[in-house]
């Protein structure tokens, strides 16, 4: 079970746009080296390392030593734990159904708009 302190750490980590971008890079490139990751940002390597420390504290990023290189991996479990705290099987089912209805309504609206333009 996820504690309030764990959730606070996750929400704090996700609150910064650079940390979310770091998570996107780590998700897209499992095992990315810290130096390679840092080259994707217009901040110093130290700043990236500070962001990584926050992400690691929240357990969103796992780093492994590979010789002199630190390899980074995304850990989605803290986010999944938060999701599961507020959803259950029934609410997840209905959320999926409502999402399906929304997509169908949006598609119908786009189709209707297309017909109006053709007239």
Give the pLDDT mean for 10-29: 98
Give the pLDDT mean for 16-39: 97
In this predicted structure, what is the pLDDT of residue 94? 83
CB 52 within 8 A of CB 72: yes
Q: List C-alpha distances in Å: 47 to 20, 38, 53, 92.
A: 14, 9, 10, 38
CB 3 within 8 A of CB 21: no
pLDDT, tens digit (0-9, with 9 covering 90-100), for 42-96 = 999 999 999 999 999 999 999 999 999 999 999 999 999 998 887 777 677 788 8
Measured between alpha carbons, how far is 27 from 46 in angstroms, rounded to an integer? 21
Percent of the chain with pLDDT over 90: 73
pLDDT, tens digit (0-9, with 9 covering 90-100), for 38-50 = 999 999 999 999 9
Tell me the two tokens of residue 97.
């159904």
Tell me: pLDDT of 26 over 80.
yes
In this predicted structure, what is the pLDDT of residue 47? 97
In this predicted structure, what is the pLDDT of residue 117? 62
Tell me the two tokens of residue 44.
């110093």
Tell me: pLDDT of 118 over 90.
no
In this predicted structure, what is the pLDDT of residue 92? 73
């Amino acid at each position: 079970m996820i504690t309030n302190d764990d959730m606070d750490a996750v929400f704090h980590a996700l609150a910064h746009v650079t940390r979310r971008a770091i998570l996107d890079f780590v998700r897209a490139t499992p095992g990315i080296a810290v130096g390679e990751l840092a080259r994707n940002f217009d901040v110093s390597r130290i700043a990236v390392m500070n962001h990584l420390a926050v992400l690691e504290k929240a357990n969103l990023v796992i780093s492994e030593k590979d010789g002199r290189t630190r390899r980074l991996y995304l850990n989605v479990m803290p986010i999944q734990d938060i999701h599961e705290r507020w959803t259950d099987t029934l609410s997840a089912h209905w959320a999926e159904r409502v999402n399906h209805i929304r997509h169908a309504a949006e598609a119908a609206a786009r189709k209707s708009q297309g017909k109006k333009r053709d007239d």
